[in-house]
Amino acid sequence: MFFEGSEKKLEIIVNASAPKLRSLDRTFWLKLVAASNADILSSISNEYCDAYLLSESSLFVWDDRIVMLTCGASTLAESACYCIEHLGEQAIAYVCYQRKNEYYAHLQASSFSDDVLRLRHFIAGQAYRMGHLDSHHHYIFTTDKHYQASRLDTTNELLMYHISGTVADYLRGDQQSTIQISQMLQLEQLFNGFSVDQHLFSPLGYSINGIRGTEYFTIHITPQENSSYVSVETNIDISSTQVDIFAELVRLLQPNSFDIIGFNSHIANKPFPHYLCLSHCAMTIEQGFNIHFSHYQQNGLEVLSPTLL
């Protein structure tokens, strides 16, 4: 069984003159999510943020911005267009649309180039590729409107491929529970004090959203043997945490390779035991974000078997 775990990501920040996004009614969010061919499964809220767990990943809403991730064959660019069209282009301060290369890109409803053409019907921006075209790479579209991000506006993303070991075996089993997965991933220790919303998918798959004040984290796991993928994202400054969150998750899930993507992050080129950083790419955009992409590979020979197609 195959499922495309690799996600597309959207961040939209609105101007101070725009309506507070959390004041928009539920119908707006239902339609925005439906534009990606996804559904809202559940939600949690606090004073600052509404976190929606989706059939295809997650949506986080603050008064001034949204962060949305969708996996599978979802059409996240359509949600971006829906949001820009309904709020009005003048209400938009900044848009960032990201897309990682997929296992089976030909099964997607669109390519990144298609998505950029669609987005440019609604808002102007620049498109970039970070990484080698014939290896792991990451696409980013950002608007070129006048906007200046705070240097404290941080995002850290960890994307892991071909996980192995005890936790991976459990995730592929048929006697799972959200409690046990959370314990095995040590989430209470790594993300202390967060309110969480978790979901197990059938036959395989796990998602969790967490919020603590204005902070968030989200983890999505597609554990299938031949195409396993795990994404972790947070706006915590993980370079200052007591526990090295990404290093611990890499240790637990033992991926064959992984990527780290950061916006105003302080973990570019950080060393990981038993892994080599094979490539690194960085750029600074006028809107105040220093963006970096690093690809890591396990330091050792991988012995593969042929796969019957």
pLDDT at residue 242, rounded to an integer:
85
Nearest to 93 by CA among 145, 54, 139, 23: 145
- Give SS3 for 61: strand
CATH assignment of the domain containing 48: 3.60.90.10
Is 160 within a domain? yes
Is 304 within a domain? no
- Answer positive or negative: Cα dihedral of 255, 259, 264, 265: positive
Is 306 within a domain? no
Is 143 within a domain? yes
Please state the domain count of the chain: 1
Is 309 within a domain? no
pLDDT at residue 3, rounded to an integer:
87
Is 119 within a domain? yes
Is 303 within a domain? no
Q: H or E segment at 211?
A: strand 206-212
Q: Residue 177 belongs to what domain range?
A: 8-298
Order of strands across the sheet that contains 195-200: 195-200, 206-212, 215-222, 229-234, 155-161, 257-263, 290-298, 275-284
Which residues neighbour 282 within 8 Å (Cβ) at sequence distance 6 or greater?
268, 290, 291, 292, 293
State the burial class of residue 152 (Cβ atoms within 10 Å of its Cβ: 0-12, 13-18, 19+).
exposed
pLDDT at residue 271, rounded to an integer:
86
Q: Indicate the pTM of the whole model.
A: 0.96
pLDDT at residue 270, rounded to an integer:
81
pLDDT at residue 260, rounded to an integer:
96
In the numeric block, the tokens 């983890």 are attached to: 219
Q: What string of pLDDT tens digits covers the 309 residues of the chain?
A: 788 889 999 999 999 989 999 999 999 999 999 999 999 999 999 999 999 999 999 999 999 999 999 999 999 999 999 999 999 999 999 999 999 999 888 989 999 999 999 999 999 999 999 999 988 999 999 999 999 999 999 999 999 999 999 999 999 998 899 999 999 999 999 999 999 999 999 989 999 999 999 999 999 999 998 899 999 999 999 888 889 999 999 999 999 999 999 999 988 778 899 999 999 999 999 999 999 999 999 998 888 888 777
Is 3 within a domain? no
